[in-house]
Structure 1
Amino acid sequence: MTKTGAISIRTERLALRLPDIGDFEAYARLMASPRSAGMGGPFDLRAAWGMFCHDIALWQFFGHGALMIDLAETGECVGQVGINHGPLFPEKELGWFVYEGHEGRGYATEAALALRGWAFETLKLPSLVSYIAPGNVASIAVAERLGACLDRVAPRDDPKDRVYRHIPP
């Protein structure tokens, strides 16, 4: 149970749900791979576990956190979308990733759009940001498809990150 109650969000193709222990193996594999470089990785198993637990704990502490992205038709988990905060992020961050083999199908955009809409409606946030490593062309494209604008003066932990700001409609 979270501050906001059990949460799941559905889109036409996706089901967004709270993570469970069965999601950790694929999560840890991604975090150990070079694909996690834009998030500060690759990470060892211990660090991946801490990040996974952080994603879940955010729900209890702030009423938001990570959701796994499942294909509605098959139930296959293809990635994660989340609203991050706490001492690791200067502002509430909308983040996403998809697992290898699921890129280029619009899952990250669809999931991020759904979670962002939920966050603006339910949490009444004035804005969200997405911190993106400069070379992460795919995530930059997702942020731009979502209509987020580059915010050159937003606070950031990594001065090289590009920060995209999401404003409620």
Structure 2
Amino acid sequence: MFDHPVLTTTRLTLRVPDIGDFPRMARFLASPRAAGVGGPYDEPGAWHMFCHGVACWTLFGYGALTIVHTETGDVLGQIFLNNGPLFAETEMGWMLYDGHQGQGYATEAAFAVRRWAFDQLNLQTLVSYVSAENAASAAVARRLGAVLDPKAARDKPSDLVFRHPRGR
């Protein structure tokens, strides 16, 4: 078994998902807001995504992290490092559940995960695949200092690919 990290920021605790996180994630993935991550999904599709994020920990030593508001204990969403045959490169992605967007949580969590990925995992590069219609996620990527990489491989030609700089 791997030693799973718990990352903390000023407001957030980032921890490996547990089974109690699935219902909230499934509700989000069934909603129209999930269009930015390929949804909406039915329950089996949501289960597939949930299990992928958990399985990545065993396969790669990184994966999904549940975003928890440290002070209140509220589960705000998920941030993840994805890999495997579904991804051309290691991807950092995020999703915030209803009512938690627009408060800087995704950016705060992503800064912490990116720093951990580069400093502790020694990953050489990270990308974020963002649906061209998802202006909020594109704005998060830009706040992180990621830049568009039009030459990067992608499964969906319409996706934007943001490359994250090391050392930020």
TM-score range, shorter chain: over 0.9
Once residues 103 and 38 of structure 1 are traced to their aligned partners in structure 2, the CA distance between those partners, rounded to angstroms, is: 13
Alignment of 1:16-165 (within 5 A): 16-165=14-163
Once residues 61 and 84 of structure 2 are traced to their aligned partners in structure 1, the CA distance between those partners, rounded to angstroms, is: 12
Corresponding letter in the other structure for 2:103: R
TM-score for the superposition, normalised by structure 1: 0.97
Once residues 15 and 129 of structure 1 are traced to their aligned partners in structure 2, the CA distance between those partners, rounded to angstroms, is: 23
Structure 1, residues 91-139: CA drift from partner, whole Å, max 9, x if none? 0000001111011100000001100000000111111000000010000
Corresponding letter in the other structure for 2:150: R
**Deviation for aligned residue 1:167:** 1.8
Corresponding letter in the other structure for 2:54: I
Q: How many aligned positions are there?
A: 167
Question: Once the two structures are aligned, what percentage of the paired residues are identical?
Answer: 56
Unaligned runs of 5+ in 2: none
**Deviation for aligned residue 1:32:** 0.6
**Deviation for aligned residue 1:8:** 0.3
Contact 1:34 1:42 in 2 (8 A): yes
Corresponding letter in the other structure for 1:65: G
Unaligned runs of 5+ in 1: none
